[in-house]
Chains A and B, each alone.
Chain A
Amino acid sequence: MQLLIQQILNGVAVGSAYGMFAMSFGLIFATMGILNVAHGAIATLGAIGALLVVESWGFPLIPALLVGIATAIIIGLVTDRLAFQPLRARSNPLGYLITSIGVWIVLISVAETLLDHQIKTFPPDFVSQPRIITSWVYLAPGQFWLIIVGGLSVVGLHLILSRTTIGVQIRAVGYSEVWSRISGVSSSTVVLSTVAISCGLAGVVGILSSIAFDNVAVQLGEGLLLKGFAAVVVGGFGDVRGAFAGGLIIGVTEVLGAQYISGDFRDVITFGLLILFLIFRPQGIFGEVKFGAIK
C-alpha cells in the first residue's frame, strides 16, 4: 500500500512536469492554431540559460530561474516575430507547421552547440530543500517543487485566463478572431501575451525538470514535447485545467505501469492512451470541439 502511494506521488511529480508543458503548448495551439514543434526546444533553452548562469557565475536558484524564464520568453518572442508573424496575413495552416519545423531545427542546433553535445547537470545539491521524508512517503526536492509549481501554475493560469482582461481577450481570440477584432481586441497584444505566458511557462518546466531528473539535454525538451502533446490530446485543448489533468493522468499511468506491468511498457501506455482518445474522443476529457482561430 505504501509503495502504491509512493509511486502515485512519483507519477504526480512527473505528471506535473508534463501538465505544465501541456498547458503552455496547448495555449498556443488553442489560441493561435499553431502546432509548434519547436516548443520543447524552447524549454530546453530555458534550462540551458539557467545552467549557464549557474555554472559561470554561481547564481542561486531564484535568479537562475528568472534568467532561464527570460531566455525562453525572449527566444519565443523573437521566433514568433521572425517566423510566424509574416505568415499571419495568409490563412495557410500548413505554413505554420513547416516554419515551426524550421525553427525547431535551428533551436536544436543552437542548444546542442551550447551544450557542447554533452549531457550536463546542475550541481548535485543545487536544490536541496525541502526533502519530505515521512514514514509513508518520500519526495525529493525536485519532485516537491514540480508538484507545487505545477499546482500554482494551473491555478494561476486559469485565473489569468478567466479573470483578467488580457486573459479574456486571449480566450476571445481563441474562439473567433473576427469577432474579437470587431470588439476591439488588438490581436498583436494578444499574440505577444500568449507567446510570453506560454514560453515563460515552458522555461519554468524546462528548468525544474532538468533539476528534478538530473539532466540538461536536448532529449529532455523533446521528451516533454511528445508527452505534453499526448497530455493535451488526452486532457483537451480548450481548457488549461484539462491539459494539466491530462499531464497528471499520463504521469501516473506511466509510473504505475512501469511498476506493476513492466519497465518496458512506459511508452506503450502513454501512446496507447493517445491513440484511443484520438479515435474515440479527440477533443479530450475536458475539451470542447471548437478550435484555434488566429490563422
Chain B
Amino acid sequence: MNGFWNAYSANVEFALVAALFSLSAFLGLWSGVLSLAPIAFACGAAFTSARIDLDHPGLPLMAHLIIGMLVGAALAYVSSLILLRLDSHYLALATIATVLISRVIVLNLPQYTGATLGTPVTRIVSTWQLVLILSIVCLVFNSLRKSRFGYSLDAVREQPEVAASIGLNVLKIRRIAFVLSGVVGGLAGVLQSQLMQYITPDAFYVDLAFVSIAAAVLGGAYIWVGAVVGAFVYAALPEVLRPFLGNSKNIANGVILILIMVFMQRGLIDPVAIKRITRRLRNSIASPSQQRTE
C-alpha cells in the first residue's frame, strides 16, 4: 500500500483537483451552456493567489481558497454580462476565446504574473485537505440537485423555451450557474497551482479546458457524479493501461473518449439508464406473482 502511495500520490492529488475542474465545466452544461470559460477563471484565481502569496507569505489555506473563489466569481460575473448575450453557437466559441485571451493577459502583465517565466507557488494544502474540499463541494452539488434551483437548471437545460414560458428567468439562472462555475473554477485553480508549485501561462490553457469538459461528458453530462467519475477515470486510465500500452497511453485516452461518445453518448453515469436498470432489477427480485406492471 505504501509503495502504491509513493508512486501514485501525485496522480491521485491531481485527479482530485481535476474533478473540481470537471465539476466547473459541468455547471455550464447543467444550464444548457457549453462553456470552457471556468479554466480562464481558474487562471485568474491562481495567479492572484500566487501573487498575494509572494507579497504576503504565510496566509492560511482558507484565505487563499476564499480569494480564489471570489476572484473566480467576479471574473465569471463580468464575463457573463458579455458572453451570455450570445447565441449558443457563438457562446461556445466565445468561451474558448476567453481561455485564449486569459493566456495573452497573463503574458502581458509581467509584474503581476511573471509573464513567460511564470510564478512559483508555495504548497500549503495536504492530501486529506484536498479530499475534504472535494467532498464538501460534492455535498453542495448534491443538495443543489435536489433543490429548487437544481430543478430550474434541469428545466433550462432540457427545454429553455418551456422553462421561460412557465416563468423561469432563463438568463438569470444561467448567470447564476456561470458564477458558480467561476467559484468552483477559482477553487480548482488555486489548488492546482499549489500542486504544480509553479504556474506558467500554459498552465491553464485550452488543453486543460478540453480535458475538463471531455472528462465531464465522459463520466456523464447529466449528473454531477459523472464529472467526478469522469475525471478519475480519465486520470487513472493511462496508468492502468501503461503495462499494456507503454508510452502510447495518451492515445488510449483519446480512443476511449471516442468509444464512449459513440456507444454511450450519455456518458458512464447516466441517470436515465440507472433508473431503468434499477427498475428492472427491482422487478426481477420481486417474485413473479408479485410483479406489477408500471
The docked-state distance in angstroms from the alpha carbon of A211 to that of B233 is: 40
Whether A87 and B257, one on each chain, are in contact in the complex, defined by CB atoms closer than 8 angstroms, is no
Whether A105 and B107, one on each chain, are in contact in the complex, defined by CB atoms closer than 8 angstroms, is no
Whether B104 and A105, one on each chain, are in contact in the complex, defined by CB atoms closer than 8 angstroms, is no
Asked if A163 is at the interface (CB within 8 A of a chain B CB), the reply is no
Which A residue's beta carbon lies closest to that of B267?
A: A98
In the complex, which range does the number of interface residues on chain B fall in?
Answer: 35 or more
Assuming the contacts A83-B262, A86-B262, A291-B89, asked whether A278 and B94 have C-beta atoms less than 8 A apart, the reply is: yes
Those of A99-130 within 8 Å (CB) of chain B: 99, 101-110, 113
Across the interface, B97 reaches (CB within 8 A) one of A99, A106, A108, A274, namely A274
The residues of B that contact A105 with a CB separation of less than 8 Å are 250-251, 253-254, 257
The docked-state distance in angstroms from the alpha carbon of A272 to that of B104 is: 9
* Chain A residues near B (Cβ < 8 Å): 33, 35, 37, 82-83, 86-87, 90, 92-95, 97-99, 101-110, 113, 226, 229-230, 233, 264-265, 267-268, 271-272, 274-275, 278-279, 282, 291-292
Which B residue's beta carbon lies closest to that of A233?
A: B93
* Chain B residues near A (Cβ < 8 Å): 29, 34, 82, 86-87, 89-90, 92-94, 96-98, 100-101, 103-104, 107-108, 206, 210-211, 213-214, 217-218, 221, 248, 250-251, 253-258, 261-262, 265
B265 CB to nearest chain A CB (Å): 6
Across the interface, A98 reaches (CB within 8 A) one of B90, B100, B250, B257, namely B257
Whether A102 and B254, one on each chain, are in contact in the complex, defined by CB atoms closer than 8 angstroms, is yes
Whether A271 and B101, one on each chain, are in contact in the complex, defined by CB atoms closer than 8 angstroms, is yes
The residues of A that contact B98 with a CB separation of less than 8 Å are 275
The residues of B that contact A110 with a CB separation of less than 8 Å are 251
A75 CB to nearest chain B CB (Å): 14
Whether A274 and B100, one on each chain, are in contact in the complex, defined by CB atoms closer than 8 angstroms, is yes
Whether A278 and B90, one on each chain, are in contact in the complex, defined by CB atoms closer than 8 angstroms, is yes
Given contacts A94-B217, A274-B101, A282-B86, 10 further A-B contacts (CB under 8 A): A86-B262, A87-B261, A94-B29, A101-B254, A108-B250, A110-B251, A226-B100, A268-B104, A275-B98, A279-B82
Assuming the contacts A268-B108, A279-B82, asked whether A87 and B265 have C-beta atoms less than 8 A apart, the reply is: yes
B86 CB to nearest chain A CB (Å): 6
- What are some 20 contacts across the A-B interface (CB < 8 A)? A83-B258, A93-B34, A94-B29, A95-B217, A95-B261, A98-B214, A101-B210, A101-B214, A102-B253, A103-B254, A109-B254, A226-B206, A268-B108, A271-B100, A271-B101, A274-B97, A275-B97, A278-B90, A278-B94, A279-B94
The residues of B that contact A226 with a CB separation of less than 8 Å are 100, 206
Whether B248 and A113, one on each chain, are in contact in the complex, defined by CB atoms closer than 8 angstroms, is yes
Interface centre among A93, A104, A230, A282, by most chain B C-beta atoms within 10 angstroms, is A282
Whether B97 and A98, one on each chain, are in contact in the complex, defined by CB atoms closer than 8 angstroms, is no
Whether B255 and A106, one on each chain, are in contact in the complex, defined by CB atoms closer than 8 angstroms, is yes
Say what secondary structure dominates the interface of chain B. helix
The docked-state distance in angstroms from the alpha carbon of A105 to that of B257 is: 9
Of all A-B residue pairs in the complex, the 8 with the closest CB atoms, nearest first, are A102-B257, A105-B254, A106-B254, A102-B258, A282-B90, A109-B250, A86-B262, A102-B254
Which B residue's beta carbon lies closest to that of A92?
A: B265
Assuming the contacts A37-B210, A271-B100, A279-B82, asked whether A98 and B248 have C-beta atoms less than 8 A apart, the reply is: no
Whether B221 and A94, one on each chain, are in contact in the complex, defined by CB atoms closer than 8 angstroms, is yes
Which A residue's beta carbon lies closest to that of B29?
A: A94
Across the interface, A99 reaches (CB within 8 A) one of B29, B248, B257, namely B257
A155 CB to nearest chain B CB (Å): 27
Whether B265 and A282, one on each chain, are in contact in the complex, defined by CB atoms closer than 8 angstroms, is no
Across the interface, B265 reaches (CB within 8 A) one of A95, A102, A109, A292, namely A95
The docked-state distance in angstroms from the alpha carbon of A107 to that of B258 is: 12
Interface centre among A233, A274, A292, by most chain B C-beta atoms within 10 angstroms, is A274
The docked-state distance in angstroms from the alpha carbon of A278 to that of B92 is: 11
Whether A103 and B93, one on each chain, are in contact in the complex, defined by CB atoms closer than 8 angstroms, is no
The residues of A that contact B221 with a CB separation of less than 8 Å are 94
Which A residue's beta carbon lies closest to that of B247?
A: A113
The residues of A that contact B214 with a CB separation of less than 8 Å are 98, 101-102
The residues of B that contact A106 with a CB separation of less than 8 Å are 250-251, 254-255, 258
The residues of A that contact B248 with a CB separation of less than 8 Å are 109, 113
The docked-state distance in angstroms from the alpha carbon of A87 to that of B218 is: 15
Which B residue's beta carbon lies closest to that of A110?
A: B251
